[in-house]
Chain A
Amino acid sequence: MYKATVNVTLRESILDPKGKAAHHALKDLGLPEVNSVRIGKLIEMNIDADSKDEAFEIAETACTKLLANEVMEDFEIEIHEN
């Protein structure tokens, strides 16, 4: 059993209105040091696979087919042994 952690983020070229709104709020909170905010998604999956490579491939398929929309999002996968 492996654990996949997937980070889905909006592509850098794309405006992130949620991140922008959070950024404004952080400034109002008294944290002017925060320069920018981007908001993405963290997705965790437990995957039955015989090897780390196989688990990665399964997670990659999940990302390209459903979890991320590559028109506007990038994703990063990390695989850990459970």
Chain B
Amino acid sequence: MSAKFGVIVFPGSNCDHDAYHALAHVMNAETKFLWHKDTDLSGIDFLLIPGGFSYGDYLRSGAIARFSPIMQSVIDFAEKGGPVLGVCNGFQILLEAGLLPGAMLHNQQLRFVCKHTHIRCETSNSLFTRNIEKGSILKIPVAHGEGNYFTDDDQLKKLQDNDQIVFRYCDEDGNTTEEANFNGSIDNIAGICNTDRNVLGMMPHPERAVEDILGSDDGKKIFESVLNELAVA
């Protein structure tokens, strides 16, 4: 039996169809859209919270979306070990929902940045990176204005000590330079997971890097890891 993927759609999501395309047409996984008012996740093996501007980013990015009916189900799903990937606005929603620690500030230079970036995989110990060797460099695009990850020093130390930093911005040779850290994120953080390692939030968009014609297919490695994990489980 093949794994079933769910892509959550909030009012204002705009990467939902990209995510659907990547999962259904490129990865050939059974995929369905889940409306934010749905609460029934039965039969779903993997949840993707896509990018966009849920609720117009009113108040703060992700702040309103986390009160959508589906989010309680997402929290229950995650607490039972279900894999949840939040991309961009999806990452912001996971932060606001408390599934991941920290918060997002405006990019330090205040500009919305839309470009290809390089990120370094910092751990293979997560559902999403099991197939990706530590130190690998992935080319994956970003598109955000509020991706400046922030957390206090104590929490940052916990993330470092628990190996929860999954991706860091780097240059094409893998150096985590200040220049590569275009949005000002603390410790070059591009993606983190929870302590149970089944919830990943990342600002870059792997669903936009799944075919050569898009400039990179490195994003596939993340989905392949999840598919492999689910096939074994």
Contact = CB atoms under 8 A, between A and B. Distances in A.
Most chain A Cβ neighbours within 10 Å, of B63, B67, B107, B150: B150
Interface in A1-47: 10, 14-15, 17-18, 21
Interface size class for chain A? 10 to 19
Contact of A71 (B59, B102, B107, B184): B102
A61 interface: no
A18 B150 contact: no
Contacts, number: 32
A10 B59 CA distance: 13
A72 B107 CA distance: 14
A17 B150 contact: no
B58 to A, nearest CB: 11
15 contacts: A10-B105, A15-B105, A17-B105, A17-B106, A17-B110, A18-B106, A21-B110, A66-B59, A66-B67, A69-B60, A71-B101, A71-B103, A71-B152, A72-B103, A72-B150
B96 interface: yes
Contacts of B184: 15
B136 interface: no
A10 B67 CA distance: 23
A33 B60 CA distance: 31
Interface residues of B, number: 18
B68 interface: no
Interface of A: 10, 14-15, 17-18, 21, 66-67, 69, 71-72
A69 B108 contact: no
Interface in B142-173: 150-152
A21 B107 CA distance: 12
Contact of B59 (A15, A17, A67): A67
A21 B184 CA distance: 16
Nearest to A70: B103
B109 interface: yes
Nearest to B111: A17
Interface in B85-129: 96, 101-103, 105-110
Contact of A69 (B63, B107, B109, B110): B63
Most chain A Cβ neighbours within 10 Å, of B60, B63, B102, B151: B60
A72 B63 contact: no
Given A67-B59, A69-B60, A71-B150, A14 B110 contact: no
